[in-house]
Amino acid sequence: MAASCVFRTVLSRTLSQFRCSGGFRCHYTSALFVPEAGHRSAFWVTVSRQQDNNTNFHRRSGASLWAAVAFSLFSSTDEPERDEAQKKKDEMILLLKKAKLSMHRGNLQAASSFLHQAVALAHQTHNNQAIIYTYSQMANLAYIQGHLDSAEKLFKAAMSFMLAGGTPEDDNAVIEMSLKLATIYAEQNK
């Protein structure tokens, strides 16, 4: 990928120089070729000393261009192929974002659907962080909808995954879920 970036940079510099050679005279400034204002040159004008220095630059950039081409042969110029696990992870993140947006907009049914899809992907990929986050979001959604029994079960499931993963009992997330469970128990008179 780094070779692709080098190749694109060298190629754009070289092409910019070729575009400028028949019209405005160009000079190199950081990463851009900028035409000098008020200087027009034709291709039949004799080469001055400053243009001679530009010719040396062309030779160096030409060598860089060939080096970049050689590096690009060993790496794909297209975006590298992602493996299946990365695709599932990206899809899961997108589903979680859609669920969060749906909850924010008040479309709780769609949010529930997105969360169920996300938790299925999280279980397929064995991503415990995603499982915990999705269960806690599902529990919050169930609590908002008034499904206290479902919210209780989901909070307990999220806490069990957290504690099994080595999260200490005095962690803020565990305490927050415990307080939510206490609120649920208070509303149910348990």
Least Cα distance to 116 among 131, 126, 106, 104 occurs for 131
CB 128 within 8 A of CB 89: no
Q: What is the mean pLDDT of residues 61-81?
A: 55
For residue 136, what pLDDT is reported?
Answer: 96
pLDDT tens profile 90-121: 999 999 999 999 999 999 999 999 999 999 99
Structural domains in the chain? Answer: 2-74 (no CATH), 84-188 (1.25.40.10)
Smallest CA-to-CA distance from 27 within 8, 13, 42, 45 is with 13
What pLDDT is stored for residue 84 in this prediction? 81
Range 175-185 average pLDDT: 95
pLDDT, greater one: 47 or 160: 160
Prediction pTM value: 0.57
